[in-house]
Structure 1
Amino acid sequence: MGLSLDLAAVISTTLEGIFYGFSVFMFGVTLYILKQNSRRLDRRVNYRMVAVSYALLACSTAHMIIDIIRTSNGLVFKRDTFPGGPVAFFSQPSETTFIAKNIVYLFQTLLGDGVLIYRCYVVWQSWLIVAFPIVMWFWIGIVSAIAIHASATVPAGAGTVFLTSVGQWITAFYASTLATNFLVSMLLAYKIWVTNRRVAHMSEGSLFPVVRVIADAGLLYSAALTAALACFVQKSNGQYIILDIVTPIISITFYMVIIRVGLAATSRSTDHAASTLEFSSQHHARSHSNNTGPRVVTVGDLESQALPMSRLQVHITKMRETDRATIEGEGENDTSSETDRKLSGFEGRGRKGI
């Protein structure tokens, strides 16, 4: 026995509520990360990412509210008045709440895919690379608009989305957005991986964690779309469940990239700051351990530190303590002390680029 539509509505709304709550939590963390990064890098908050975050939250919230209203109408308010009962209510493609939730899903899909394509352009810096994904993005909008219009014009009692002309457009929509998401995610991961290999010998950090973040987000979204497409092709009512949880998943994948990359960057920054502070403390302690003679910072002291630079300029400063006797002695003898001569000799050799 297959999954009934009224039971599918209950399960889908429940699961969507769980994913929605998690997405709201990640939304708050995302705003915090964006604010902290702006402080750490001493620049303005990335208001474009903030705006996208709010837009995705608005879409998820609107979709959640519509599903609550739809479930309440089908199971409570219109249970006895809608022709055919709850099953007929949830199977009607032209029902108002079904059209409304699909419009919200369309907007959120275009927003999420658009941000992914934009990230790809930022990484590649080439319109040629993102030309095909942009064409696919427009195609997704056209196909989904046709599917929504076809759903709205289905006569009452004509059948479900599987038995009408709506099905072919929904299949095309799922396939198109899945292909676009997979292609752009692979382009992003490949470019970052290649860049990391080129600069690996010049940098102490690795970009491989960023590749993993993008791959994980792409795989999560692709898995949800693949499940929805498979259920729809098999004419399973499980596709209604997948459809409802995909909406918060789109937001989650967007937040996940910002959060994980931001936390990784903060961790690297903290580690580097701690290393720098430790080196400064050690150098300060060594410089004050002997107040009667000059302190020379040797090249070995610097080589023991993991400094993130390919070229280091070393400058040696000459330090000398004098007293009244020394000053009077210098008036009689204009020659430098042996220590000064040694220091002068090292200073001449020390001003080299390493």
Structure 2
Amino acid sequence: MASSSLPIDTAELIAMYMQAIFYGMVLITVTYGMRVQLWSRDGYLKSRDRINWVMVVATLAMFTIATLEMAFGLRLNLEAFIYYTGPGGAKGQFAEISNWVNVMKTVDYGAQTFIGDAIMAYRCYVVYDRKWRYVAVPAILWLAESVCGWIAVYITATLHSSATLNEQRLVPWITAFLSLTLAMTTITTGMIVFRILRINAGVASKGMTRVGGNQRLIRVVRVLVESGLVYTVSVVCFFSLFLASNNAQYPVSDVTVQLIPITFVLIIIRADQSAAAENYAVHQSTSFPKPITFPVRRSMPDADPSQGTPISSNYPGIQIQTETYMMKDIGNDRDGWKTSELEMV
């Protein structure tokens, strides 16, 4: 049992309240995010080949898990405070760690993290030209954290005793799981940001300009860092409370399940808004009869000539093409993913 000054029944009630607030945010962000992914800005449903189905499926999966987490939390509180009449009262019911509702809440956390970190690794893979050698370490960390997470779920389901998450057999696996999650998130976010800043610095060093300037990539970095920090801070808080055997870990872990889809979808929404704002600026510009952009693409030996004519550059591995840039329907438009080198969300 956790030696916490916060009783477990009080912690679970707080968890339900906090989770309800963040679930409301999930409903808003997912609804808007699905509109961005499935409809164009002029209100028309996108064709199938323009929809990024990986992002759509991930969004729906995360939303489903967040909804189940709310449902399981409500069920657990009803069982503890209304239906349970056994020894220990509500505290006794919450301490039944192998209760199917408690087990499913653990499954929800593991599954949500599994999907969220998989998308992070996928973004990193895409940013680095879909070359596996660059994401080997994140992929290994992701597999390791998944194994630790599901072992923790198995132990939780088979304990059949009164215990909390700080039960002796669980501690090593949960500790390893959270440590690997933090390492995975930090490394992948850092790799993506490094790649973007490196390309941005290469373009700036050659004195290249385009509509909107080079601040576009900086905005992408800010979106990634801000979203990554929100998720990382929530995991750090959960990890710290877990190590301190404080029952406040329950509300924090429940909120983290809701935060993962929020941060994931917010990247898509903010990228779409940024692209829309820049397109508006381009249309309002009167400097040229036709706006000219200079997006960055990695030089490819077998590049398709139909994708535009490269302008030679002395920057290693970089070409300038009159092509859609990375913030064009980022993560939503399938064509944008094909034509953009930094197709990260």
Tell me the TM-score range normalised by the shorter chain: 0.7 to 0.9
| 1:284 alignment partner in structure 2 | none
Are 1:172 and 2:172 an aligned pair? no
1:26-77 Cα distance to aligned partner (Å, 9 max, x none)? 0111122222269799961222211111111111111111111011111111
Q: How does 1:132-171 map to 2 (within 5 A)?
A: 132-157=137-162, 159-171=163-175
Structure 1 position 307, deviation (Å): 4.3
SS at match of 1:36: coil
Greater length-normalized contact order (CA 8 Å, ≥ 6 residues apart): 2
Q: Normalized against structure 2, the TM-score is what?
A: 0.77
Gaps of 5+ in 1: 280-300, 311-354
2:244 aligns with one of 234, 238, 257: 234
Q: How does 1:54-203 map to 2 (within 5 A)?
A: 54-78=60-84, 80-81=85-86, 83-125=87-129, 126-157=131-162, 159-200=163-204, 201-203=207-209
Are 1:270 and 2:280 an aligned pair? yes
**CA distance in 2: counterparts of 1:139 and 1:37, whole angstroms:** 40
Structure 1 position 9, deviation (Å): 0.5
Structure 1 position 302, deviation (Å): 5.2
| 1:308 alignment partner in structure 2 | 293
**CA distance in 2: counterparts of 1:103 and 1:17, whole angstroms:** 19
Q: What amino acid sits opposite 1:31 in the alignment?
A: M
List, as ranges, runs of 4+ consecutive aligned residues in structure 1 with deviation greater than 4 Å. Answer: 37-43
| 1:5 alignment partner in structure 2 | 8
Gaps of 5+ in 2: 296-345
**CA distance in 2: counterparts of 1:193 and 1:129, whole angstroms:** 17
| 2:30 alignment partner in structure 1 | 27
1:179-206 Cα distance to aligned partner (Å, 9 max, x none)? 1111111111111111111223324233
Q: Is the 8 A contact 1:9 1:71 kept in 2?
A: yes
1:224-258 Cα distance to aligned partner (Å, 9 max, x none)? 00000000001000111111000010001101110
SS at match of 2:97: coil
Q: What amino acid sits opposite 1:91 in the alignment?
A: A
Structure 1 position 108, deviation (Å): 1.3
Q: What amino acid sits opposite 1:7 in the alignment?
A: T
| 1:320 alignment partner in structure 2 | none
What percentage of residue pairs aligned between the two structures are identical?
28
**CA distance in 2: counterparts of 1:5 and 1:20, whole angstroms:** 22
Q: Normalized against structure 1, the TM-score is what?
A: 0.75
Structure 1 position 308, deviation (Å): 3.3
**CA distance in 1: counterparts of 2:19 and 2:72, whole angstroms:** 12
Return 122-131 or 35-44, whichever deviates more.
Answer: 35-44
Structure 1 position 309, deviation (Å): 5.4
1:89-108 Cα distance to aligned partner (Å, 9 max, x none)? 21222121110111122111
**CA distance in 2: counterparts of 1:302 and 1:77, whole angstroms:** 72
CA RMSD for the aligned pairs? 2.2
**CA distance in 1: counterparts of 2:261 and 2:103, whole angstroms:** 21
SS at match of 1:155: coil
Are 1:245 and 2:249 an aligned pair? no
1:256 aligns with one of 261, 266, 271: 266
**CA distance in 1: counterparts of 2:46 and 2:218, whole angstroms:** 22
Q: What amino acid sits opposite 1:47 in the alignment?
A: W
Structure 1 position 163, deviation (Å): 3.3
Say which structure is richer in helix. 1
**Structure 1's 139 and 274: CA in aligned 2 closer, same or farther, altered over 3 A?**
same
Larger Rg: 1
Q: What amino acid sits opposite 1:231 in the alignment?
A: L
**CA distance in 1: counterparts of 2:231 and 2:25, whole angstroms:** 15
Q: What amino acid sits opposite 2:276 in the alignment?
A: T
Count of aligned positions: 282
**CA distance in 2: counterparts of 1:63 and 1:88, whole angstroms:** 21
| 2:314 alignment partner in structure 1 | none
Q: Is the 8 A contact 1:33 1:263 kept in 2?
A: no
